[in-house]
Amino acid sequence: MASQTLREARKYEEMAEAQIPQEARPAFHLSPRAGWMNDPNGFSWYQGMYHMFYQYHPYSSYWGPMHWGHAVSRDLLHWEYLPAALAPDMPYDKDGCFSGSALELADGRQMLMYTGVLHEPQPDGSFHEIQTQCIALGDGRDYEKLPENPVLTEKALPEGGSRYDFRDPKAWLGEDGRYYCVAGNCTGDKDGQILLYSSADGLHWQYEGILAKNNGRFGRMWECPDFFELDGKHVLLTSPQDMLPRGFEYHNGNGTLCLIGSYEKEGHVFTEEHDQSIDYGIDFYAPQTVLTPDGRRVMIGWMQNWDTCNMRSQPKTWFGQMSLPRELSVREGRLYQKPVRELEELRRNKVEYHGVKVAGEALRLAGIEGRTVDMELEIAPAQGRELYRKFAVRFAQDQERHTAISFRPHESILKIDRKFSGSRRAIIHQRRSLVRHEGGALRLRIVLDRFSAEVFVWDGEQVLTATIDTPLSADGISFYADGEAVLDVVKYDLM
């Protein structure tokens, strides 16, 4: 039986959704039914559908008491909203149902495992968030919270583990038939660690140990972990807070981290071999993955940035969207990401050019335009000429506005820049990435969906993601080179 709090949220979101025209939303990225969206939660396959839950405040387009929104899809691109799944309506979660995960139990029920938040008053009049792990069980639409909640409390923390920063459980079924989950935590001095738990039935959990420790390397508190096997390696994804840049890695403050290594299952020992950012753009955080029925590991992240999300030029009826679903692989010890293959089913109206000389003034090509676009570029230096100094592609363009991707081969720097996109706020508008090139040759794939751009370098060796707020009437695309470059371009509309 849904609580009054949940019934009110469901009634409100249904009314509010009807006020948002479809053309005001992304075409194939999931946005909130109404109000505010942040972290993806419970990304799972259940009863023939992909389920995506999300951190959700239906009553305004700003962060508020966290609910769980809910949507389902058959192809990861077309989403149908279901009623909100969770609301903060119990003594242990009355101040928020924070992030978590979902899986199917042996009896066929879908389990949601989430972080319950309770504000505890302190002697000085301030409040601390007490964070515990809780469970709700349901049928893919309606869920009942366990009477035994919370199932993991401070009693299940290692010595020195903070009960104020203990959140975001990601659960899975192990090959041995046991259930496992990882959760983010930190020590009293805010140094991040990932904790591992196990369960025989998915309902009663026990502490196994510390899977990974920060030791002061990557920011502070580690949020939103995910842990899985991929291409013979084990991969730990997490989103550290307060990161410091290291060269061209980890520039986002609240950013993303991928650790690749080996895992000894007997002793639950994860040995790191490689670290990297997950996304090198401006807007990407808190990714979560699902194993698809055909065996692919697919990841979706929140396509936003905590440092810019409250600085907006205009009021909005909704805010926040998810990234394009990305198929993951590990190649030569590095994480690769590419758009899910289902995206190619949306391609229409192919336009193709080969060997186009780009030099000096901005070049427009007939048929190359639009705001829902899948575009593949191959850039090369002109034969027998000096290496070009800069190449740029500008999109979401009109007389006043554009967003740009530019590449300087002498520095090996790829930059995404939205300072001319129409923003009236001094938010983060640029991000640079060190990329590989072959004598000035570079391959890019740019996916545009109305209010976002995702740039895949060398078939997903690196990805740069950014949201844009440019009016949809700005649909021009142009190319520019300082020096002389040669361009091959294949462009599709995404319908």
Instruction: Convert the pLDDT of each residue in 173-216 to its tens digit.
Output: 999 999 999 999 999 999 999 999 999 999 999 999 999 999 99
pLDDT score for 435: 98
Question: Please, how many CA atoms are within 13 Å of residue 219, restricted to the half-sphere of its CB?
Answer: 23
CA 381/CA 440 separation, integer angstroms: 6
Query: For domain 346-494, is the CATH number 2.60.120.560?
Result: yes
Percent of the chain clearing pLDDT 90 (strictly above): 92
pLDDT-derived band of residue 399, with 50, 70 and 90 as boundaries? Answer: very high
pLDDT-derived band of residue 253, with 50, 70 and 90 as boundaries? Answer: confident
Choose between 425 and 57: higher pLDDT. Answer: 57
CA 129/CA 117 separation, integer angstroms: 6
Q: Which residues are catalytic?
A: 39
Which residues of the chain does CATH 2.60.120.560 include? 346-494
pLDDT score for 237: 98
CA 305/CA 320 separation, integer angstroms: 10
**How many angstroms separate the most distant Cα atoms in the chain?**
74
CA 440/CA 409 separation, integer angstroms: 5
Q: Supply the pTM of this predicted model.
A: 0.97
Place of tokens 């909100």: 84
Query: pLDDT at residue 408 above 90?
Result: yes
* 1.10.3720.10, 2.60.120.1140, 3.30.70.360, 2.115.10.20: CATH of 4-16+24-339: 2.115.10.20
Which residues of the chain does CATH 2.115.10.20 include? 4-16+24-339
pLDDT score for 125: 86
Phi, psi of 376 (to 5 degrees): -110, 130
pLDDT-derived band of residue 311, with 50, 70 and 90 as boundaries? Answer: confident
Residue spans of alpha helices (H) in 146-289: none
For the stretch 119-146, pLDDT in tens is 998 889 888 899 999 999 999 999 999 9
Which candidate, 427, 464, 434, places its Cα nearest to that of 448? 464
pLDDT-derived band of residue 425, with 50, 70 and 90 as boundaries? Answer: confident
Q: Average pLDDT, whole number, for the chain? A: 96
Cα 74 to Cα 26, 78, 79, 146, distances in angstroms: 18, 7, 8, 29
Q: Average pLDDT of 155-180?
A: 97
Q: Are 447 and 454 in contact (CB under 8 A)?
A: yes
pLDDT-derived band of residue 316, with 50, 70 and 90 as boundaries? Answer: confident
Q: Average pLDDT of 456-461?
A: 98
